Amino acid sequence: MSLNIGDVLQGRYRVARLLGQGGMGAVYRVWDMRLKAPRAVKEMMPQPDINGQVLAQLQQQFQQEAAVLANLSHPHLVRVTDFFEEGGNAYLVMDFVEGESLAARIAREGCLPEPQVLAWADQLLDALEYCHGQGIIHRDIKPQNVIVRPDGRVILVDFGLVKLWNPGDPRTRTAIRSMGTPEYAPPEQYDSQSGFTDARSDLYSLGATLYHALTGQTPPTATMRIVNPASLMPVRHLNPQVSPYLEAILLRILELRPEARFQTTTELRMALRQWGGGIQPPGGFPPGTFASTAVMGMGGPPGAGYPYAPSASAPPVRPFPWKSLGLVVAALIALLLAGLALANLLERGRETPVTIGDTTLTTEMETWTAAPVEVTAPQEILVTEAVASPTAELVIETPAETETATATATTIPTTAATPSPTSTPLPTQTSPPTATPAPACPEVTGPFAEVWRAEQAQLGCATNDAHSGWLAIENFERGLMFWREDNDRIYVVYQGGSWQGFANTWRDGDPIYTCGTETTPPTPLRGFGKVWCSNAPVRDGLGSAMDLERGFDGTLQDFERGTIVRMDTGTIYLLFSDGKWSKR
């Protein structure tokens, strides 16, 4: 039976949320009320119609996994802290690892930089070298089972297919075998009878994971490669920035025949280190190996923790555009000087009186309004503009004083003569009309204040305050889907920079799968599946699902022309009403 939020196990672990679910169980985030710390609990949840003998084997395997993992201690492996049975189900308690899966990182960023991938490869090989030394094979290495922590380190999780391995007897001691994930499983893992898997099988899976990280594409399955050997595209065809040496190493790791691969993790680690691709060998680099080095927090790939050098095939660094910067600075200085000159003219305009006959006028430049003056016919009032000045200058003259200027001046006729002189006010000249500024938005406060200030012109004013909301998310090859509970809408975010919104039409009681089945992954479920299966452009744009949907408490705020959403990983997405998106 599935657990509900708020359920308490063993009087100690309070369920916070579902992290993921598969055919044989589920993983929950829980709160350890005794130690006041988050934990992950894995629940073995077999299918109801499973026969008793198989169920007993599964329970035995689950207990075996708990006993094996509880004795492992490595900085790049998840730590098991407890195991128990309750309500007919078995539970495994592990440290909760903060971060995001490597699959999610690839889906968001595409091809990852070679130095970073190599640093992660070395950490994973260190973990595998430790496991293989303990006689343990993981059997399901894939991007979904590699967690990238906020500090940049990677952790290998989910030993659901762990196998005890004796090099003298390659047959598995695990009760129930599984082929793993097809794109990352070697061909020998497909054979449920021979049991021929060993450390080289893990190396194949790691190689497929590195291939995916460097190219942004999942490798073809082993069976597809057997049918069509050309289906495995060379790494540099998909990402020319990868060095030829690393491409050759990956091709050897992904050999279909185990005897043609690297035979041990140690052999593979040395091959990666020998070419100087950025992984520090034991004892460090000899002095002067690199002109400069970077350590954690001081440059280089985030969290790499190793000195590194850029790949020989990396693009050259472009020089800083000093010439363009100089032009910008010169333009700014010119604008400043023009502003000072304009301010000086305005000040002079306020202080300089204009005299007409016996009347002295003080002209205000803001309104250009002069006081009325007595004028007798046939007198004319001429208004001329000073051409040399960038600002209009009001000049009022009588004909006697401007005989030579009347040819170009604009004449403003006076009112027709009347029996007695009348008092005629001078025409009033007003400044050009200016657009009424739009009312300023109320200042946004809270977690999105800084993002809103940077994107205010595009987002507009806030229509509500930042608030928490229940979200669900699933990563795909070329994007992601997420669902908002408060408006019951599904958002499709494509890797290319566009997004679409759909009403969620899936309801409880509807089929879990709109297309496909549980045995034909990767097919999204429920509302995501309904959108993905019934919209070919969505399906083509996103590609296949990379993981299972999961729910979490996110943070949201809506605006006149968009929405800001913060995921539980800390990533902030901005969805603009023009169909574009960006992230922070």
Catalytic residues: 140
Residue 517: partners with Cβ closer than 8 Å, 6 or more residues away: 523
Please give the Cα distance from 529 to 513 (Å, whole number): 6
Separation of alpha carbons 368 and 371, rounded Å: 10
Query: What letter does residue 33 receive in the DSSP assignment?
Result: T
> Is 443 in contact with 418 (CB distance < 8 Å)?
no
Element (H, E) at 457: helix 449-459
379 Cβ contact list (under 8 Å, min separation 6): 398, 399, 414
What single-letter DSSP state applies at residue 552?
E
Distances (CA, A) of 196 to 186, 187, 294, 578: 11, 10, 42, 55
CA–CA gap between residue 176 and residue 380 (Å, rounded): 109
Show Cβ contacts of residue 118 under 8 Å, excluding neighbours closer than 6 positions.
Answer: 246, 272, 277, 278, 279, 308
Task: Report DSSP letters for 164-207, one per residue.
Answer: E-BTTB-S---SS-----GGG--GGGG-TTT----HHHHHHHHH
Nearest to 101 by CA among 569, 424, 450, 531: 569
Task: Kindly provide the residue ranges of all beta strands, DSSP E only, lying in 418-535, ordered along the sequence.
Answer: 467-476, 479-484, 489-494, 499-503
The answer to whether 361 and 370 have CB atoms below 8 angstroms apart is yes
CA-based radius of gyration for the chain: 36
- Dihedral sign from CA coordinates of 532, 523, 109, 554: positive
- Alpha carbon of residue 223 to chain centroid: 33
Alpha helix stretches (DSSP H) within 216-321: 222-227, 235-238, 244-253, 265-274
Task: Give the number of C-alpha atoms closer than 13 A to the C-alpha of residue 276, restricted to the C-beta side.
Answer: 11
Phi, psi of 154, rounded to the nearest 5 degrees: -110, 145
Please tell me the distance from the alpha carbon of residue 578 to that of residue 557, in angstroms, as a whole number. Answer: 17
Cα–Cα distance between 29 and 9 in angstroms, integer?
Answer: 12
Which DSSP letter does residue 45 get? -
DSSP tally for the chain: helices H, then strands E:
12, 24
Q: What DSSP string describes 305-373? A: -S-----TTSPPPPPP-HHHHHHHHHHHHHHHHHHHHHHHHHHHHHH-EEEETTEEEE--TTT------
